[in-house]
């Protein structure tokens, strides 16, 4: 019985050793950069990651007024929480503004893997927080919409 308890304790210690340290981030500490996988104008601040590995990530995305993201999908569950402004999101392979839902501050959309969707902003800047587990990616329904191909 003592041997089993010791093994459980060692397993817990080994798992804990790989855990990240406690982290607190203030908005003024965020480092905003361009996002190659989104149309020009979007900015990203990585809070926790990296998005390319099978680990949890937390990012913030900032979009200017009158911004559009063409229909696309992701390989994993996407959780988008609106922190500033109103973010409009719709589901489908076509960009149809009339089918979008307006998400105000505090609104959240949880999108299942490979679900085609689109988004846009109105007359104001929008900031959203995205949480998920990598590896992450963006695949456009129409490859011509992918800014990495232009």
In a domain, 14, yes or no: no
For the segment 51-62, the average pLDDT, to the nearest whole number, is: 96
What is the Cα–Cα distance from 148 to 104, expressed in whole angstroms?
30
Q: Indicate the average pLDDT of the chain.
A: 90
What is the Cα–Cα distance from 95 to 101, expressed in whole angstroms?
13
What is the Cα–Cα distance from 72 to 117, expressed in whole angstroms?
6
Tell me: pLDDT of 11 over 60. no
**19 — pLDDT class (breaks 50, 70, 90):** low
Q: Which domain does 74 fall in, by range?
A: 27-149
Q: What is the pLDDT of residue 2?
A: 53
In a domain, 106, yes or no: yes
Q: b/e per residue, 37-75, with b = 16+ CB within 10 A?
A: ebeeebbbbebeeebeeeeebbbbbbbeeebebbbbbbe
In a domain, 126, yes or no: yes
What is the CATH number for 37? Answer: 2.60.120.10
What percent of the chain clears pLDDT 70, i.e. is strictly above it? 87
């Amino acid at each position: 019985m003592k041997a089993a308890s010791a093994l459980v304790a060692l397993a817990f210690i080994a798992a804990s050793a790989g855990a990240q340290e406690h982290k607190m981030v203030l908005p003024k500490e965020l480092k905003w950069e361009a996002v190659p996988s989104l149309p020009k104008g979007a900015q990203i601040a990585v809070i926790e990651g990296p998005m390319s590995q099978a680990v949890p990530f937390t990012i913030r995305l900032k979009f200017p007024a009158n911004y559009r993201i063409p229909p696309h999908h992701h390989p994993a569950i996407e959780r988008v929480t609106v922190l500033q402004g109103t973010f409009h999101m719709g589901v489908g392979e076509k960009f149809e503004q009339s089918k979008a839902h307006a998400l105000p501050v505090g609104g959240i959309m949880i999108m299942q893997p490979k679900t085609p969707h689109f988004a846009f902003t109105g007359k104001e800047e929008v900031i959203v927080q995205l949480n998920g587990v990598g590896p992450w990616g963006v695949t456009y329904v129409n490859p011509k919409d992918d800014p990495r191909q232009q």
